[in-house]
Amino acid sequence: MNDSPDTITNMFATVEIAGKQYVVAPGDTIIVDHIDGDVGEAKIFDTVLLYSDGKKTSVGRPIVAGIKVTAKITSQAKGEKLHVRRYKQKVRYRKSTGFRAHETTLVIEKIG
């Protein structure tokens, strides 16, 4: 494969999804907090905080105008179980509960 500078792109963006910031590049798979949508549906995120195409970097104040990130939902599932335990000494109080957060898996299709 020819790895000339023209074929390699260092494009990435920092995007805000569900109140959290993620650094993404085309082809990346990320797991985010639950967002509404069906599996296979495309989502467009326009809150891009930083964008770089490999040659020029744009920093948003607060967002970069005209840049959008397109992603496809690949799964809607529950995450790993978190165990929450409470204990109070001398009074024989013990309580154990669990929690599984809903998560969405996204594949970044394009930035621009």
pLDDT of 73-90, one tens digit each?
A: 999 999 999 999 999 999
Domain assignments of the chain as residue spans, ordered by start = 12-77+104-111
Contact (Cβ atoms closer than 8 angstroms) between residue 71 and residue 31: no
Question: Average pLDDT, stretch 2-6?
Answer: 50
Question: Average pLDDT, stretch 26-51?
Answer: 95
Distance CA 111, CA 108 (A): 8
Mean pLDDT of the chain: 91
Its pTM stands at 0.80
The pLDDT of residue 9 is above 90:
no
41-72 pLDDT per residue, tens: 999 999 999 999 989 999 989 999 999 999 99
